[in-house]
Amino acid sequence: MCMNFPFKDSVFLLNFFRERIKITNMKQDLDIAFLDVDTQYDFMDPRGNLYVPDSEKIVGNIEKLLAFARKNGLPIFGSVDAHNPDDPEMETVGGPFPLHCIKGDKGQEKISASAPLNPLWVENRKYTADELESIFSHQGEIYFEKQSFNLFDNPNARIVLDRFKLFVVFGVATDYCVKAAVLGLLEMGKTVYVVEDAIKPVASESGEEAIKEMKKKGAKFIKADEVHSILR
């Protein structure tokens, strides 16, 4: 049976259904998020100060994943090293790593393939309630600064990321920052998909061990071309 509504009632119903769609999409956004780990020049460019071998070979898949997330309106988060020369992990002060990703240097910047849209850079300090609200309401991509290989050393990361149920993780390095991010998310009870052809290790042996550990803890591994299946 077809019913004829007055024009004003039709407008009301159209607006009503639009709002319902918005609510559904908001819920969907809170289900799935993408996590881009440390795709910065010093790690991914052969001239970088802490170059991850062959990492330039995954640039195409990283670009593909970010394009997919943006096309489907899925939130993008990430981590970036943001160092000072005297941070504890620097070899200049007795740490294990050479100077890398120094704030203000080219090496600390994101590679062009993963350059964020309207980014918000979250400093590694405890944010106030008002500052956290500004993160939640930000209309753009959100990156957590850190001075170690562990994303969750930034105290704001756990608070913000806990709002989501499932994460698609990619970046470098498999045996350091990727592993720490994945294990941290799994400890929070999240479902984690690691994109196996969009990660690279510092060393192949430790990379294989990291993958075994992530799988043992419950991470799922997929390829970049399979990510669309998660939305079904």
- Give the CA-trace dihedral at 105, 107, 111, 112, to 10 degrees: 40
pLDDT at site 99: 96
46-231 to CATH, choices 3.40.50.1000, 3.40.50.300, 3.30.830.10, 3.40.50.850:
3.40.50.850
- CA angle centred on 20, ends 17 and 25, rounded to 5°: 130
Cβ–Cβ under 8 Å, residues 169 and 181: yes
Lowest mean pLDDT: which of 28-32, 135-139, 185-189? 28-32
How far apart (Å, rounded) are the C-alpha atoms in residues 142 and 120? 5
Whether the pLDDT of residue 210 is over 60: the answer is yes
- Which residues are paired to 35 by β-bridges? 77, 169
DSSP for 117-133, written as a single string: SS-EEE-SSPPPHHHHH
> Looking up tokens 């803890």, which residue turns up?
217
pLDDT at 28: 42
The span from the CA of 86 to the CA of 197, in Å, is: 34
Whether 7 shows a pLDDT value over 80: the answer reads: no
155-207 pLDDT tens trace: 999 999 999 999 999 999 999 999 999 999 999 999 999 999 999 999 999 99
Confidence of residue 30 (pLDDT cuts 50, 70, 90): low
Reported confidence tier of residue 232, pLDDT bands at 50, 70, 90: confident
